[in-house]
Amino acid sequence: MSETPPTKSGEPKRDAAPRRRRPELREEKILLSHGSGGKASHSLIESVFADAFSNSLLDALDDAAVFPVDSGRFAFTTDSHVVSPIFFPGGNIGDLAVNGTINDLAVSGATPLCLSAAFVLEEGFPVEQLRTIVESMAAAASDAGVSIVTGDTKVVHSGKADGVFITTAGIGRVDGRVHIAQSAVQPGDKILLTGPIGDHGIAIMLAREELEIESEILSDTTALNGLVEALINAVGGAVHCMKDPTRGGLATSLNEIAQSSQVCIALEEERIPIREGVRGACEILGLDPFTIANEGKLIAAVAPAASEAALRAMRSHPLGAQSQMIGDALAAPPGIVFLNTRIGGSRVMDMLVGDPLPRIC
């Protein structure tokens, strides 16, 4: 690529020249006028978003970010975020929205290039909280070496939204060495997982007021592009499929892979890491940790000959220190995931149906 968007290697580019003085935002709460497109909108954008996200493409404040691309394959994805509570142990809706889109690109084998961010704000939402969210987004993007190059803000009447909704989209350039697809898993492939499951879902559930359970479980929200890059550098095209098991958890992601690739996936329960606190919360609430959401874990299906090297590469990355080979892809029965239990039994591991609903007793 002759000229890349202001991403890829670390820090977003900032204008060298001193800026004109930004208009200040006097209001402490979001008003409908902040979404009207007039002066109030400008002062919100300039005082809250423009500085935090600043990069050469965004700073122009044009209708679209324009940048050149060269040949190759590109990945394009989008995701809306509506989490409640907005602030939770280990993160908030902002870093979640940035990491979520980066991870969707990364598991497609793409290096994220740039993101968009669109906000739906509820009238009355505290500006201070919005600033915190935006700062988290800027930090998450910067950590992952990606820029937010375009955005939008709308405000709806009080009661018509739940504080703030954020939609992010992202473009990434697909690594030429890999052909990642949900349907590309072969019988014989090894299934790898980068660390303990269920952290995000349980952190969110326990952060909701109605559950008075104390815990120290943090959401695992993080960007996986660095880890994916390390994996691809180590074993290249031997990676057949990657997924980040978000909503529906490990069970749902693996079922999607099994059905799409028409393979059976056989897992070993004792190799699947789950934190003590997550197991405890699942026991109390009657939930299945295999169906609980993650926001910073990677599942990879890797050709058997490369699987040891893949595991080493994953383990040497800080986000993959607890990586495990959790199972195998088999030829039959196709479309089924099953689990060899710790005590020597086995069972089907089905997809989540509906929401995870706690058992009664």
Partner 1 sequence: MKYIDEYRDPDLVRALAERIRDLRYDKPLKIMEICGGHTHAIYQHGLHQLLPDNIELVHGPGCPVCVIPIGRLDDALSMARAPDVIFTTFGDMMRVPGSKGSLLNARADGADIRFVYSPSDALKIARENPDQRVVFFAIGFETTAPSTAVTLLQAQQEGVSNFFMFCNHVLVIPALKALLAAPDLQLDGFLGPGHVSAIIGMQPYEFIARDHGKSVVLSGFEPVDVLQSVYLIVKQKTEGRSAVENQYSRAIKYEGNLTALKLMDQTMEVRPFFEWRGLGSIPESALKLRSDFSQFDAELRFDVPGLKVEDPKICQCGEVLRGALKPHQCRAFATACTPEAPIGTCMVSSEGACAAYYKYGRTLLTDTMKKWAQ
Tokens (6 digits) for 206? 């326990």
Supply the DSSP symbol for 29.
Answer: B
Cβ at position 360, least distance to partner 1 in Å? 5
Q: Among residues 33, 215, 262, 340, which is the contact residue for partner 1, using CB under 8 A?
A: 340
- Choose the stretch contacting partner 1; rule: CB under 8 A; options: 6-14, 149-157, 171-179, 333-341: 333-341
Separation CA 344–CA 48 (nearest Å): 56
Supply the DSSP symbol for 291.
Answer: G
Q: Are 191 and 265 in contact (CB under 8 A)?
A: yes
330 binds partner 1 (CB under 8 A): yes
Burial of 285 (0-12, 13-18, 19+ CB in 10 A): middle
Q: Are 108 and 79 in contact (CB under 8 A)?
A: no
Of 159 and 344, CB closest to partner 1: 344
Supply the DSSP symbol for 211.
Answer: -
- Taking residues 258 to 297 in sequence order and writing x for each that binds partner 1 by CB under 8 A, - otherwise, the string is --------x---------x--xx--x-xx-x---------
Separation CA 64–CA 169 (nearest Å): 13
Cβ at position 209, least distance to partner 1 in Å? 10
Separation CA 289–CA 198 (nearest Å): 6
Nearest to 197, CA basis, from 161, 248, 148: 248
Tokens (6 digits) for 125? 């939402």
Of 41 and 186, CB closest to partner 1: 186
Separation CA 200–CA 219 (nearest Å): 4
Of 35 and 289, CB closest to partner 1: 289
348 binds partner 1 (CB under 8 A): yes
Q: Are 173 and 74 in contact (CB under 8 A)?
A: yes
Of 118 and 211, CB closest to partner 1: 211
Cβ at position 348, least distance to partner 1 in Å? 6
- AA identity, residue 55: N
- Taking residues 171 to 210 in sequence order and writing x for each that binds partner 1 by CB under 8 A, - otherwise, the string is ---------------------------------------x
Residue with token string 């996936």? 265
Cβ at position 325, least distance to partner 1 in Å? 18
Tokens (6 digits) for 8? 């890829």
Separation CA 167–CA 146 (nearest Å): 16
Q: Among residues 50, 211, 218, 309, which is the contact residue for partner 1, using CB under 8 A?
A: 211
User: Count of residues binding partner 1 (CB under 8 A)?
Assistant: 32
Cα-Cα end-to-end distance for the chain: 59
Tokens (6 digits) for 352? 């989540």
- Choose the stretch contacting partner 1; rule: CB under 8 A; options: 14-22, 83-91, 235-243, 334-342: 334-342
Of 266 and 302, CB closest to partner 1: 266
Give the list of residues 6+ apart from residue 304 with CB closer than 8 angstroms, or none.
188, 189, 190
Q: Among residues 64, 66, 305, 357, which is the contact residue for partner 1, using CB under 8 A?
A: 357
Of 89 and 335, CB closest to partner 1: 335
341 binds partner 1 (CB under 8 A): yes
- AA identity, residue 48: V
Residue with token string 């709806």? 156
Of 118 and 161, CB closest to partner 1: 161
84 binds partner 1 (CB under 8 A): no
Cβ at position 279, least distance to partner 1 in Å? 6
Cβ at position 88, least distance to partner 1 in Å? 19
Of 320 and 356, CB closest to partner 1: 356
336 binds partner 1 (CB under 8 A): yes
Residues near partner 1 (CB under 8 A): 210-211, 266, 276, 279-280, 283, 285-286, 288, 330, 332-333, 336, 338, 340-348, 350, 353-354, 357-361
